[in-house]
Amino acid sequence: MSENRIAVAKTYKLYIGGAFPRSESGRSYPVVDAKGAFLANAAQGSRKDARDAVGAARKAFAGWSGATAYNRGQVLFRVAEVLEGRREQFIAEVAACEGVTVKKAQSLVDAAIDRWVWYAGWTDKVATVLGASNPVAGPYFSFSVPEPTGVVAVLAPQQSSLLGLISVVAPVIATGNTAVVVTSQDRPLPAVTLSEVLATSDLPGGVVNVLTGRTAEIAPWLASHADVNALDLTGAPESTRADLERAAAGTVKRVLRARPSEDFTREPDLARLRAFLEMKTVWHPIGV
């Protein structure tokens, strides 16, 4: 590239049902780097965008949850492969929006890709680790298997723009849920790039839907939406959490509360996989 070439700037849009629409509201908001310099305009998602995203996630649920665990693992590993190919872009975006050194950004991006691989490997192992055959006191074969909860609304962490984002999205879809993700409000650009990765990785449209915008504006609509089954509050502003939990009670949503100052560089445990699983117990008589 010659030095005086003008770069083509990207339009950062929402990701809903496998497509990249602008916000139906026509709104956008400026995204700046850690020093306050303009980076891009991001779409400012609305209530209607959120509802469209929930609809897309619901539509994708049957196919994604019905796919074999092996197939989901293959698709998610494919995502990791494409993530690796975008490594340089992610490093630049993370460095810009988080204000960290390139070296630090490299380690965050590498950890994010490896995190995705970690969760990709769980698709066909969750059942053997969390499921059971139950030695009931009678002539019955009884077993319990984990199944995905459904549509999960995820409020992504506000600080960790990629590693945190991947740490909350991957476990939701690994087990067969579909997701509506509200990105970090002020650091949304790596999430939009992640959408582009997901769109080109054999992940069916609608499995992950990504909304940029004001978390406090969008979250209540998701928390009260009757077709959302669970809510991850990780990125919810402190002052809104209790209200969101209350709204979630309307349809008895599973709520994953935010852990105080969660450190996403640490190796995760099973908590985020467990949070969005239902345990199903099946009984069948034994007898000739």
Partner 1 sequence: MWEYAPAPESRDIANLKPNYRMFIDGQFVEGAGEPLKTVNPGTEEVLAEVSTAAPADVDKAVKAARRAYDRVWGKMPGSERAKYIFRIARLIQERSRELAVLESLDNGKPIKESRDVDVPTAAAHFFYHAGWADKLAYAGHGPDPRPLGVAGQVIPWNFPLMMAAWKIAPALATGNTVVIKPAETTPLSALVLAEIIQQADLPPGVVNILAGAGDVGAAVVSHPDVDKVAFTGSTEVGKIIQRQLAGTGRRLSLELGGKAANIVFDDAPLDQAVEGIVNGIFFNQGHVCCAGSRLLVQESVADELLEKLRVRVSTLRVGDPLDKNTDVGAINSREQLTKIQQLVETGDAEGAQRWTSACPLPDKGFYFAPTVFSNVSQAMRIAREEIFGPVLSVLTFRTPDEAVAKANNTPYGLSAGIWTEKGSRILWAAQKMRAGVVWANTFNRFDPTAPFGGYQESGFGREGGRTGLEAYLDV
Residues found near partner 1 in the complex (CB under 8 A) = 69-70, 73-74, 77, 114, 117-118, 120-122, 124-125, 127-129, 141, 270, 284-288
Q: How far is CA 4 from CA 1, 10, 39, in A?
A: 8, 19, 20
With beta carbons less than 8 A apart as the criterion, state whether 163 and 134 touch.
no
For partner 1, the closer of residues 101 and 133 by Cβ is 133
For partner 1, the closer of residues 116 and 276 by Cβ is 116
Least CB distance from residue 120 to partner 1, whole Å?
7
Least CB distance from residue 66 to partner 1, whole Å?
17
Q: How far is CA 151 from CA 33, 74, 156, 202, 250, in A?
A: 32, 21, 15, 19, 15
Least CB distance from residue 150 to partner 1, whole Å?
24
Other CB atoms closer than 10 Å to residue 251's CB: what's the count?
A: 13
Least CB distance from residue 146 to partner 1, whole Å?
14
For partner 1, the closer of residues 35 and 284 by Cβ is 284
For partner 1, the closer of residues 67 and 258 by Cβ is 67
Least CB distance from residue 126 to partner 1, whole Å?
10
For partner 1, the closer of residues 260 and 287 by Cβ is 287
The SS3 assignment for 63 reads helix
| 204, amino acid identity | P
Contacts of 165 (CB under 8 A, 6+ apart): 112, 156, 157, 181, 183, 184, 190, 191, 194
Contacts of 42 (CB under 8 A, 6+ apart): 12, 28, 29, 30, 31, 188, 189, 192, 212, 213
Residue-wise burial string across 63-81, b where 16 or more C-beta atoms lie within 10 A, e elsewhere: ebbebebeebbebbebbbe
With beta carbons less than 8 A apart as the criterion, state whether 229 and 151 touch.
yes
Least CB distance from residue 137 to partner 1, whole Å?
15
For partner 1, the closer of residues 29 and 77 by Cβ is 77
For partner 1, the closer of residues 124 and 243 by Cβ is 124
> Tokens 């790039």 label which residue?
193
Least CB distance from residue 128 to partner 1, whole Å?
5
Alpha helices in the chain (DSSP H): 47-66, 69-85, 87-98, 102-120, 126-130, 163-174, 189-199, 215-224, 241-248, 271-274
Least CB distance from residue 267 to partner 1, whole Å?
9
For partner 1, the closer of residues 126 and 255 by Cβ is 126
